[in-house]
Amino acid sequence: MHEFKVWAPRANKIAIKIGNEATAMQGPSESGWWKASIDSADDGTDYAFLLDDDNTLYPDPRSLWQPEGVHGRSRVYDQRRFHWTDDTWQGPPFSGAILYELHIGTFTAEGTFDSAIARLDHLHALGVTHIEIMPVNAFPGAQGWGYDGVALYAVQQSYGGPDALKRFVDACHHRGLAVILDVVYNHFGPTGNYTGKFGPYLTDRHKTPWGDAVNFDEGGSDEVRRFFCDNALMWMRDYHIDGLRLDAIHEFMDRSAVHFLEQLSSEVETLSATLQRKLILIAESDLNDPKIVRPREAGGYGIDAQWSDDFHHALFTLMHMEPNGAGYYSDFGSFEKLVKALTHIFVFDGGYSRYRNRSHGRPVDGLSAHHFISFIQNHDQIGNRAKGERLEHLVGMNRARIAAALLFTAPFIPMIFQGEEFAASTPFLYFADHEDEEMARLVSAGRRREFAAFGFDGDDIADPENEATFLRSKLHWSELNEGIHAEMHIWFRSLIRLRRCSQSLNDGDKDHVEIRYDEEKKWLCMQRGLVTILCNLGETSPQFEAPEDSRLELSTVPSLAIVDGKVTLPPDSLCILSAEEPY
């Protein structure tokens, strides 16, 4: 026997159809819930809903399994049947995390959870502590980034389905790797979203880049908020996920006295206490508002960390400037901005933004830099380029190594993107698989319009609906031990090892970051406790005094040495000095 429940305040009657038999559901309750117990239904039973006099079969909005895709029938899935082997798992502390973002579909040739398990030993040896996987909730078609998901409780079937995700998480924990899952709570994808047939999941009172906003504060919003909170708790409780990355929370339109993020962080904290293991929430936000990661007790939302785009933009524009400083990059491009990011986190913390044509942000006071995640590459910053170029493709091997060194010596928590650690030759492009021809055409046309703002020619843009675009984005693991790819891999392993073993580099107090720089000559000297980072992007060779008892730890120049207590840094180079006792 299985009890079926569905929230559908918009329906006057509902039947559940299993095989050729339809059974009327009882309801609705005062809050809009319908239910039915079916003796013949059990784990593996396929079912769908009939609403009112509509003969269309609709999948369950809370379906745990969509084996035939997002338009097909739902399948009953018993969360209890999987045998876990991670009973004693606690996970590494997030304050010392090394994050690695990956996309299951392109991480391996097979593009599945099971095939990804074979590469976990590589990540462990690299020094990664937390794997952040792009969305795996069910989305239309066989390939996509996952941000247009519509069945948010189900696991994408082309990746292997729900049991495969559990095998992947279990294998990660066996190797000491925590798992962060990217989730999308700001919109549903444009095709395959049937929630509107059931209830007011969206509201036209607010608008987002994807259309009507998720209903967090209008009529019926109590159950909508419950839908998303329950989803978050499910991933952490039933799939043993260690944390969630919340996509684009600046598109959460919520005027409630208790913001959705505050409710979510409170419920996750309670689950964490219940499970006796630390659970993490990470926000993607372009608001530059520290309230997001400030504790609830101090008037914040209680989110553990957020992505820090300002660091990326400041560093990227020193390495490579787009034509005419296009888009948001027009606000950056100087050492002053990079230094501001390293010492104050937000470059725009209340000052005027030329790109936005207004003041933006708020200062970060009294918060550790460990609440902020930095990167020089991620899925957006690569995949939202017309050709999907990685940093090394744009600026060359040497500058990519310099950027990596600045990333791992910055006070924030560092994150790298799949393949970055061996300078992967493959691009990472935007791809999708919409069965509807008109939707596919609109997506392709939309990408061309978006790139026009950055000065890209239409002929440069890969068609996201072409399967070849997806296949081109898959990593070639055969490169790992070849030529420059092997050199970059060694460089990343060395940087991560240095950071993991250095108390100075794990100090999250941004007030302990001391920087001298010369804008004209393009050099920078950053002091992090007993570690000194010297960077020269200029054309001269400045000389620096080496701190007492310092030794040369790493350098992009093999022949570099400390001579008579001084270091002469050639153009386009970086070195790291340390006076810490090694251990």
Is position 10 annotated in a ligand binding site?
A: no
**313 among the known binding-site residues?**
yes
247 is in an annotated binding site: yes
226 falls within a domain: yes
Host domain of residue 212: 96-500
Which domain CATH number covers 26? 2.60.40.10
Cβ burial of 250 (10 Å; 0-12, 13-18, 19+) is middle
| Within a domain: 69 | no
CA distance 304 to 278: 11
Q: Are residues 233 and 338 in the same domain?
A: yes
**Looking at the domain assignment, is residue 66 inside a domain?**
no
**Three-state DSSP class for 426?**
coil
> Do 436 and 467 fall into the same domain?
yes
pLDDT of 321 reads 79
Does residue 149 share a domain with residue 226? yes
Instruction: Please give the pLDDT value at position 15.
Output: 98
User: Of 500, 526, 549, which closes a domain?
Assistant: 500
Residue 350 lies in a domain: yes
Q: Which parts of the chain sit beneath pLDDT 70?
A: 323-325, 437, 439-460, 583
The string of pLDDT tens digits covering residues 194-206 is: 999 999 999 999 9
Active site residue 479: no
- Cα separation, 313 vs 433, in Å, equals 30
Sign of CA dihedral 161, 240, 373, 577: negative
- Are residues 119 and 150 both part of a single domain? yes
First vs last C-alpha separation in the chain: 59
Q: What pLDDT score was predicted for residue 168? A: 98
Residue 246 known to bind ligand:
yes
| Among candidate residues 500, 530, 555, the one where a domain is terminated | 500
The string of pLDDT tens digits covering residues 556-571 is 999 999 999 999 999 9
Claim to verify: residue 293 and residue 248 sit in the same structural domain:
yes
DSSP letter for 546, please.
P
| 495 and 527, same domain (yes or no) | no
Can you give the pLDDT at residue 519? 98
Q: Please indicate if the annotation marks 518 as binding a ligand.
A: no
Same domain, 526 and 464: no
Residue 100 and residue 53 share a domain: no
Do residues 249 and 278 both lie within one domain? yes
Q: What is the pLDDT of residue 391?
A: 97
Secondary structure of residue 553 in the 3-state scheme: strand
pTM, 2 dp:
0.96
CA distance 237 to 441: 39
Contact 103, 158 (CB under 8 A): no
Supply the CATH number for residue 263's domain. 3.20.20.80
Q: From CA 352, how far away is CA 177, in angstroms rounded?
A: 41
Q: Does the residue 88 lie in any domain?
A: no
**425 to each of 70, 144, 258, 393, how far by Cα in Å?**
33, 21, 47, 8
Instruction: Please count the structural domains in the chain.
Output: 3
Same domain, 381 and 518: no
- End of a domain among 10, 33, 58? 58
Same domain, 120 and 152: yes
The predicted pLDDT at position 451 comes to 62
Write down the catalytic residue from 132, 247, 421, 433. Answer: 247
Q: Judge if 273 and 381 occupy the same domain.
A: yes
User: What pLDDT sits at residue 322?
Assistant: 75
DSSP bridge pairs for 358: 353
Could you list the beta-strand ranges (E) of 377-510. 413-417
**Does 309 count as an annotated binding residue?**
yes
Dmax (CA) for the chain in angstroms is: 87
* Sign, CA torsion 543/549/555/558: positive
Residue 84 in any domain: the answer is: no
Clarify whether 247 is annotated catalytic: yes
Does 436 carry a binding-site annotation? no
**Could you say which of 262, 284, 304, 421 is catalytic?**
284
Whether 574 is in a domain gets the answer yes
**230 annotated as belonging to a binding site for a ligand:** no
63 occurs within a structural domain: no
